[in-house]
Amino acid sequence: MTAMCDVAFLLLTFFILTAQFRSQDAAAIETPSSISGIKVPDSDIMTIGLGRDGKVYFGIDNAQNRIAMLDNIAAAKGITFTNNEKKEFSLMSNFGLPINQLKSFLNLPKEQQAKIKQPGIPTDSTGAGPTNELKEWVYNSRKANNNLRIALKGDNLAKFPEFKNVLATLQAQNINKFNLITGTEAPPAGWKAD
């Protein structure tokens, strides 16, 4: 019994120390799978999500950078955020809100935030139009952290035109290399990587 108990608690300690909790996402995204074995980096990453209904979500990895990004965008748009709102914002791993709805969303209590269906970040097909807010987020997040790598996380059922809008937004800013986040699947038998 003592031995078993020892093992159990050793494992417990291991799992507690290595645990990385799943963060609360703005929307559930089921990614397609690929044989690619490249792992997604942990830090310095910007994730653009594409939900099944075509809504676009945006997030960057570091809480400090999130605040810097919000400061940049607030300055560009002429909006001011209180310290409390900034703190709330830094806790969101991703979001899908137009900029004019952001402030009221940040002032809601946590339980209500989870209930709200986020409408997605506005994009357009040219990637540089005045209504395209994704381009502002991409630009200002890169201003906050220049080393950001870009990952696209699309849902299985997302339609291609919406993906095209995101692609156009990135291309309009001369971003021509990015990663598509996928699940892992086994390559066919006998297949070897080059």
Note the residues at the interface with another protein (CB under 8 A).
1-2, 4-5, 8-9, 11-12, 15-16, 18-22, 31-32, 34-40, 50, 151-152, 154-161, 163-164, 167, 171-172, 174, 176-184, 187-188, 191, 194
Structure-token pair, residue 108: 């809601």
By beta-carbon proximity to another protein, the closer residue of 74 and 181 is 181
CB of 169 to another protein, least distance (A): 12
CB of 92 to another protein, least distance (A): 18
CB of 93 to another protein, least distance (A): 13
CB of 117 to another protein, least distance (A): 21
Give all strands (DSSP E) within 85-156, no chain letters. Answer: 149-154
C-alpha neighbours within 13 Å on the C-beta side of residue 69: 28
Q: Is 64 exposed, middle or buried (0-12, 13-18, 19+ CB in 10 A)?
A: exposed
By beta-carbon proximity to another protein, the closer residue of 48 and 68 is 48
Structure-token pair, residue 148: 């950001």
For residues 83 and 155, what is the distance between their CA atoms, to the nearest angstrom? 34
Nearest alpha carbon to residue 168 among 121, 122, 123: 123
By beta-carbon proximity to another protein, the closer residue of 72 and 94 is 94
Write the CB contacts of 154 (distance below 8 Å, at least 6 apart in sequence). Answer: 29, 31, 32, 49, 50, 163, 180
User: What would the DSSP string read from start to end of 75-117?
Assistant: HHHT----HHHHHHHHT-S-B---HHHHHHHHTS-HHHHHHS-
CB of 100 to another protein, least distance (A): 28
Look-up: residue for tokens 């031995």?
3
CB of 180 to another protein, least distance (A): 5
By beta-carbon proximity to another protein, the closer residue of 88 and 162 is 162
By beta-carbon proximity to another protein, the closer residue of 62 and 182 is 182
By beta-carbon proximity to another protein, the closer residue of 68 and 152 is 152
